[in-house]
Amino acid sequence: MRMSAIGCPRTARFLAVGAALVMAAVCVRAAQAPAGQAGAAPAAQPPDFSRVEIKTTKVANNLYTLEGQGGMIGALVGPDGVLLVDTQFAPLTDKIVAAVRQISNMPIRFVIDTHVHGDHTGGNENLARLGATIFSRDELRWRLAHPNPTAAGAPGTPAPAGALPKMTYDGPVTFHLNGEEVQAIPIRRAHTDGDTLVRFVNADALMTGDYFRSVGYPNIDRNNGGSLNGMLEGLGITIGMAGPNTKVIPGHGPTADRSGVTFHRDMLLAVRDRVAQLIQQGRTEQEVIAARLTAAYDARVQPANQQNADRFVGQVYAELKAAR
Ligand SMILES: [Zn+2]
């Protein structure tokens, strides 16, 4: 059975940043909880990663996506070695490496983390142990080492030293390997404050991490430094870099294109403007959420549940309210 790459509600993700196993447990618990009670169900079962299969898809030339559970992985292969974008959950590393071995027998040399969430960085330590050098924004590394408290108020579990990126950057970085130019481009304060857009120039592909997703509503993880304006800026940068044939690979959901990102950005703008109107009218957060402002977009956005839409509207409300 192939488990859904969008199976983990992002409400769960930002509760336990950087602690892959804890994150996975939270993820599974949330997935099993009834609507409205994510994370509150008793008797959490350990996650069964044994059932996850890695689906490899050729995107272009020597670029592939590896879909398992958690964020989408990108794999650039060739004679200079393998570069991965993101690492999913730690228990999946063996399967991910086995999938890479199907498309390359060269070592995994580089990893770029798109953002801090455990379903994108959980395999860092394993891959570093296998010899990969991990790259990320400065902010991402700091948050892995200094995670937020859990929703219950317990201290967050810092990522082990071996999981922390060895190379960090604050401006764009370019990798030159396998005949490709791979650009790691900081996107400030978007989904989190440590987001990176990864551009494969020759393959004409962009990997966005979670500031763009092709299924479900955005998650503005304000607890990890994310912001509505940063999301809009990141989406705008992505639209500006994309041509009509550019493959846009989101953190979750199928590969999209520029028109898909444009739809997503326009939806975000429209919801923002409606929320702003209702705040102007003095509505409370509960009233704004109850207005179901996203309903017209549900058919295309395909949220897993109403919570997914409500969380997004609540995040927009919180940011606009705080800015007043
Ligand atoms: Zn995320």
In the predicted model, is pLDDT for residue 226 greater than 80?
Answer: yes
Q: Smallest Cα–Cα separation from 143: which of 18, 231, 11, 24?
A: 18
Ligand 1 center to residue 207 CA distance, Å? 13
Ligand 1 center to residue 117 CA distance, Å? 5
pLDDT tens digits for range 61-89 = 999 999 999 999 999 999 999 999 999 99
Strand residues in the chain grouped as ranges (E): 55-60, 63-67, 73-76, 82-85, 108-112, 133-137, 167-169, 173-177, 180-187, 195-200, 205-207, 247-249
Ligand 1 center to residue 78 CA distance, Å? 28
pTM, two decimal places: 0.86
Look at phi and psi of residue 140 and say left if phi exceeds 0, alpha if psi is from -120 to 50, else beta.
alpha
Please, which residues have CB within 8 angstroms of residue 24's CB and are 6 or more apart in sequence? 47, 49, 89, 91, 118, 122
In the predicted model, is pLDDT for residue 314 greater than 90?
Answer: yes
pLDDT tens digits for range 231-287 = 999 999 999 999 999 999 999 999 999 999 999 999 999 999 999 999 999 999 999
Hey, what CATH class is 10-323 in? alpha beta
Q: What is the pLDDT at residue 66?
A: 98
Residue 294 near residue 312, CB atoms below 8 Å: yes
Ligand 1 center to residue 264 CA distance, Å? 16
Domain residue ranges of the chain, discontinuous segments joined by +: 10-323
Ligand 1 center to residue 275 CA distance, Å? 23
Ligand 1 center to residue 258 CA distance, Å? 21
Helix (H) or strand (E) holding 33, with range, is none
Tokens of 258: 């520029």
Tokens of 46: 């350990």
Ligand 1 center to residue 79 CA distance, Å? 31
Ligand 1 center to residue 10 CA distance, Å? 7
Strand residues in 240-310 grouped as ranges (E): 247-249
Ligand 1 center to residue 44 CA distance, Å? 22
Residues flanking ion ligand 1, Cβ below 5 Å: 117, 210
Ligand 1 center to residue 284 CA distance, Å? 27
pLDDT tens digits for range 156-183 = 999 999 999 999 999 999 999 999 999 9
